[in-house]
């Protein structure tokens, strides 16, 4: 593999896409309990029978999107070679509020504790999606949603870090550093696992991937409660250069994919985990006003002619 290009850097986490088998329950949990804003109700562009639901902050900012494919599947079998936890950033002062709120709604959660120098509150949704609210130190901008049931100061600010599990580090490390130009900045122990932290761009909680090395676990089997892929941010202007980089380094990838709301490149790391590179723009307000994002079914132009058939096959939400 060739060395990294100093002028091509990922900026941080763009979005994370997981799997639900209960779109209605999923919508209730993420909008009502967690207070996130549904910013786009659309369909999986590769499987239009399935919803693709996007939850984010008040302005649908890149880096705040937690998204779900709605598929009628069994629960995930947990294991390695998978994405195992999604952190949601909040202010440190908000963790006590969230401890009380999760208890109020009967959500099983760990006590607030410190990991890797940050205070966090780990919990799961009803399908076993592994999440954590993490103190991000107040870094970066915040865009609260004025219709959230959660007060503005306590709202989720965005995503990151994301944690993956692999049985061996070497091949995954080479992909992260030599292909994706991340840098390993530290490591820590979590139970029996050694966790290696990779940073992008300016670093910090919104721009980290944590890699757990767990050689004794069997490979995960995807299902409800699993994560489908994680996407990393790039400026719109860097997209062609990243596509060229993948080609030059011989990376097997999707090639350029236009998702209408952003442009993407997909590739799997050696353990099979799917990574996406996604542009910040054009954004979710491309086809509907910012004030009413997510209130109706949105379809990219190439699917609009199929709207009637698509709507007939979707469950009410």
pLDDT at 2 over 60: no
Q: Residue 6 has what pLDDT?
A: 55
Q: Judge contact between 233 and 65, C-beta under 8 A.
A: no
Question: Taking a C-beta distance cutoff of 8 angstroms, is the pair 175, 269 a contact?
Answer: yes
Q: Which two tokens stand for residue 65?
A: 């999107």
* Topology given in CATH for the domain delimited by 12-313: 2,3-Dihydroxybiphenyl 1,2-Dioxygenase; domain 1 (3.10.180)
Whether the per-residue pLDDT at 216 is higher than 60: the answer is: yes
- By CB atoms closer than 10 A (0-12, 13-18, 19+), residue 307 is exposed
Distance CA 45, CA 304 (A): 12
**Is the pLDDT at 5 greater than 70, yes or no?**
no
Tokens for 84, please give them: 């195992």
Instruction: In whole angstroms, give the CA distance from residue 284 to residue 62.
Output: 10
- With CA atoms as reference, report the closest residue to 278 among 96, 65, 81: 65
Q: Is 180's pLDDT higher than 70?
A: yes
Cβ atoms within 10 Å, residue 62:
24
Q: What is the DSSP-derived secondary structure letter of residue 220? A: P
Instruction: Report residue 140's pLDDT band, with 50, 70 and 90 as the boundaries.
Output: confident
Q: What is the mean pLDDT of residues 247-253?
A: 97
3-class SS of residue 25? helix
Spell out a b/e string for 223-261, using b for 16 or more CB atoms within 10 Å of the CB, else e.
bbbbbbbbbbbbeeebbeebbebbeeeebebeeeeeebb
**The predicted structure's pLDDT at residue 315:** 87
Structural element, H or E, at residue 266:
strand 262-268
Average per-residue pLDDT for the chain? 96
Give the total residue count for the chain: 317
Q: How far apart are CA 142 and CA 183, in angstroms?
A: 26
Please, where are the H alpha helices in 194-270?
A: 239-248
pLDDT above 70 (res 56): yes
């Amino acid at each position: 593999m060739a060395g990294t290009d100093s002028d091509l850097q990922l900026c941080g986490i763009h979005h994370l896409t997981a799997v639900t088998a209960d779109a209605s329950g999923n919508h209730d949990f993420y909008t009502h309990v967690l207070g996130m804003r549904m910013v786009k109700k659309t369909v999986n562009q590769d499987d239009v029978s399935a919803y693709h639901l996007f939850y984010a902050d008040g302005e649908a900012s890149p880096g705040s999107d937690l998204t779900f494919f709605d598929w009628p599947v069994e629960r995930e079998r947990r294991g390695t070679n998978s994405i195992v936890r999604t952190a949601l950033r909040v202010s440190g002062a908000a963790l006590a509020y969230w401890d009380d709120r999760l208890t109020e709604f009967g959500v099983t959660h760990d006590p607030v504790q410190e990991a890797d120098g940050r205070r966090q509150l780990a919990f799961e949704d009803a399908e076993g999606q592994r999440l954590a609210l993490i103190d991000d130190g107040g870094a970066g901008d915040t865009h609260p949603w004025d219709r959230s049931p959660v007060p503005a100061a306590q709202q989720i600010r965005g995503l990151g870090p994301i944690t993956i599990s692999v049985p061996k580090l070497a091949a995954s490390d080479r992909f992260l550093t030599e292909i994706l130009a991340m840098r390993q900045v530290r490591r820590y122990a979590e139970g029996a696992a050694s966790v290696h932290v990779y940073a992008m761009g300016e670093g910090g909680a919104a721009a980290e991937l944590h890699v757990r090395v767990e050689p004794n676990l069997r490979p995960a089997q995807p299902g409800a409660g699993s994560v489908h892929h994680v996407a990393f941010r790039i400026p719109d202007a860097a997209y062609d250069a990243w596509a060229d980089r993948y080609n030059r380094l011989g990376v097997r990838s999707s090639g350029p994919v236009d998702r209408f709301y952003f442009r993407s490149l997909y590739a799997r790391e050696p353990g099979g985990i799917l990574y996406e590179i996604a542009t910040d723009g054009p954004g979710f307000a491309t086809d509907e006003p910012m004030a009413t994002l997510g209130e109706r079914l949105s379809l990219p132009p190439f699917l609009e002619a199929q709207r009637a058939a698509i709507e007939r096959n979707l469950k009410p939400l």
